[in-house]
Chain A
Amino acid sequence: MIIDKIKKVSIQEETPKKNVRAADMLIGKWVKCDACKEILYKEDVRKNYSVCPNCGKHFRLSARRRIAQIIDEGTFNELNADMQTRDPLNFEGYLKKIESLHEKTKIKEAVTTGIGEINGEKVVIAVMDGNFMMGSMGSVVGEKITIAVEKAIEEKLPLIIFCVSGGARMQEGMISLMQMAKTSAAIAKLNDAGLLYISVLTDPTYGGVTASFAMLGDIVLAEPKAMIGFAGPRVIKQTIKMELPDGFQTSEFLLEHGFVDKIVERKDMKDMLHKLILMHK
């Protein structure tokens, strides 16, 4: 699949102009950019890192595609690929939903972790996938991230995490919330070991992931125009009963407010990561 998230653009959308949520219409070999509405040839989009050649909109990527863009071909060794989702609340329909997502997405959980090389530099990498339960963090995501951090410490390697998440996974209740503490504590250990951690924020990164490892990188990078925050814009709007300023919670907004080090376009991401890794050798 070329564009990962495919959804019809509804004409009743509240914000019809610049809808930053990825909503891409697939018409055979053509897709419509949900930002600039241009009809694009899929192959052009694919060759352009799944970025709109017309307006630069960064479409959402699956973990698999992301890894292919960042990690040198043939060097990726996945860790804990088969870890099973748990159901601590016995939440009705949860495991069934997970099962159907296994079929649909061909991945087992919302994060893929492993060891691979970036232009020959070995790293531990974790890549979240928004197609799987909105990239939400339940016990498996928390556990896989933690193991990845511990692996980086054990092998003295830099750690890269690509974030995309709706937040903590509600269906797992408090176990899910506790993953925020667990992953943050793991990052603290990595810091004590003097190892580099680069967090890359992609569209969208929210809730419990923002409020844990996503914001704790030595260096925090973001893709252009990604939506990043703790509370979602809808909740904030309901609370303050006011319109939110243009560009609220975009990467550019976070850069302006001092919470992102640098905005990096997807085509430059691999080389930027490589450069930063070399600066820490």
Chain B
Amino acid sequence: MSKTAWDKVTMARQLERPTALDYIDKIFDDFVELHGDRVFGDDKSIVGGIATLNGMNVTVIGEQKGKTTKENIERNFGMPNPEGYRKAVRLMKQAEKFKRPIITFIDTPGANPILGAEERGQGEAIGRSMMEMSKLKVPIIAIVIGEGASGGALAISVGDKIIMLENSVYYILSPEGFASILYKDSSRAEEAAENMKITADELKNMGIIDEIIEEPENGAQNDIDNVSKKIKKCIEDSIKELSKLDVEELLNKRYNKYRKII
């Protein structure tokens, strides 16, 4: 049976769903996590570091949710603080310096609506991350693995290839928020989800994402090995394809990818 957009919202948010670190562990031969934004702190809702993929060095960044309440509190439910985006930018610039491709995993309920995040300029941090990513001279592949919500998701997903898992979702804000603002009734979230065009299929049709990776019927957690293999294949193919371009072509193509969205 085909799934509704709301089914996918629910699946994308399942606690059992594989997280960024689960995939990093399965896909890469080695991974050294690096910490801190060199300004204020280390945000545990965004992980990042250097990994090897069939002997090639890459930089990996991922939004990290927890699997238990305790873990989620530690990871702030995958809601980045400004330090998270700044750490991501730091690691991405490092990747550029050492000519490593960048792979990002997107999985967040959105930015963090708290006092400190505003004091430390999360708007500036998100904007700067997108601006920096648009001109990094190495290939960038972004993969939405769960919930891709609003600026928090977009901040680390400006790249050359945007890939979504079949049951992941990508939206401007949660369907609950959308319903609450536009229908003045948050209980109409299901209806909002159907109208918002947030599924991988819809976003591919709109030209916002490039590829979709299939999942087992009941979600990626039911065969994480297989889903990881497919993601790995997709990353390998994308890097191979993007490596053929010289820097100017790569950057022009990336610019036009967003430029044409109207």
Tell me the bound Cα distance from A137 to B135 in angstroms. Answer: 23
A-B CB contact pairs (8 Å), 28 listed = A89-B195, A89-B196, A89-B197, A91-B182, A139-B261, A143-B262, A146-B259, A174-B170, A174-B196, A175-B208, A177-B154, A177-B172, A181-B154, A182-B258, A182-B259, A185-B130, A185-B134, A189-B135, A192-B135, A211-B122, A212-B127, A215-B124, A216-B127, A230-B126, A231-B111, A231-B118, A236-B113, A240-B115
- Comparing A28-36, A101-109, A124-132, A165-173, the segment that makes contact with chain B is A165-173
B residues less than 8 Å from A171 (CB atoms) = 182
- Residue from the list A168, A175, A207, A254 in contact with B261, Cβ < 8 A: A175
A residues 211-268 touching B (CB-CB < 8 Å): 211-216, 229-231, 235-236, 239-240, 242, 244-245, 248-249, 254, 257-259
Query: Which chain A positions have C-beta within 8 A of B73?
Result: none
Chain A residues with Cβ below 8 Å from B130 are 180-181, 184-185, 212
- Whether the Cβ atoms of A180 and B121 lie closer than 8 Å is no
Q: Which positions 129-157 of chain B face chain A at CB distance < 8 Å?
A: 130-132, 134-135, 150-151, 154-155
* 4 nearest CB pairs, A to B: A210-B123, A185-B134, A230-B123, A231-B113
Contact with B along A173-206 (1 / 0, CB 8 A): 1111111111011111101100000000000000
The docked-state distance in angstroms from the alpha carbon of A23 to that of B113 is: 26
Q: Which residues of B contact A86 (CB under 8 A)?
A: 262
How long is the Cα–Cα vector from A203 to B117 in the complex, in angstroms?
20
CB contacts (< 8 Å) of B258 on chain A: these are: 178, 181-182, 185
Residue from A170, A207, A210 within 8 A of B178 (CB atoms) = A170
The reply on A208 being an interface residue by CB < 8 A is yes
**Alpha-carbon distance A176/B128, docked complex (angstroms):** 18
Q: Chain B at the A interface: mostly helix, strand, loop or mixed? A: helix
Nearest CB of B to A246, in Å: 13
Listed residue (B111, B131, B134, B206) with the most chain A CB atoms within 10 angstroms of its CB: B131
State whether A174 and B171 are in contact (beta carbons under 8 Å apart), knowing that A91-B195, A215-B128 are contacts in the complex.
Answer: yes
Distance in angstroms between the alpha carbons of A110 and B22 in the assembled complex: 43
Which residue of A208, A215, A216, A248 is within 8 Å of B115 (Cβ)? A248
Whole-angstrom CA separation of A258 from B173 in the bound complex: 28
Give Cα A185 to B150, complex, Å.
17
- Interface membership of A88, Cβ < 8 A: yes
Chain B residue nearest in CB terms to A220: B124
Tell whether B229 is near chain A: CB-to-CB under 8 Å.
no
Q: Does A142 contact B (CB under 8 A)?
A: yes
Once the chains are docked, how many angstroms separate the CA of A179 from the CA of B255?
Answer: 12
- In the complex, A229 Cα to B171 Cα: how many Å? 21
A150 to B175, CA, bound (A): 34
Residues of A within 8 A of B197 (CB): 88-89, 173-174
Cα distance, A244 to B116, chains bound together (Å): 11
Residues of A within 8 A of B198 (CB): 173-174
- Taken together as a complex, chains A and B put the C-alpha atoms of A114 and B239 apart, in Å, by 41
B114 to chain A, nearest CB (A): 6
Select one of A139, A208, A242 contacting B262, CB under 8 A.
Answer: A139
Bound form: Cα–Cα A91–B196 in Å: 9
Of chain A, the residue at the smallest CB distance from B79 is A239
Docked-complex contact B151 and A236, CB < 8 angstroms:
no
Find out whether the CB atom of B131 lies under 8 angstroms from the CB atom of A214. Answer: no
Q: How far is the CB of B191 from chain A (nearest CB, A)?
A: 11
Partner of B118, one of A178, A184, A212, A230: A230
| A173 contact from B122, B134, B171, Cβ within 8 A | B171
Fill in one digit per residue for B185-227: 1 if any A CB lies within 8 Å of its CB, else 0.
0000000000111100001001010000000000000000000
Shortest Cβ gap from A140 to chain B (Å): 8
**Interface 0/1 of A25-56, CB less than 8 Å to B:** 00000000000000000000000000000000
CA distance A236 to B158 in the complex (A): 27
In the bound complex, what is the Cα–Cα distance between A214 and B130 (angstroms)? 13
Residue B120 at the chain A interface, CB threshold 8 Å? yes
Are A236 and B131 neighbours in the complex by a CB distance under 8 Å? no
How distant is the Cα of A197 from the Cα of B131 in the complex, in angstroms?
A: 14
Output the nearest chain A residue to B134 by Cβ-Cβ distance.
A185
A180, A188, A192, A230: the one within 8 Å of B154 (CB)? A180
Given the complex, which residues of A lie within 8 Å of B208, measured CB to CB?
A: 174-175, 178
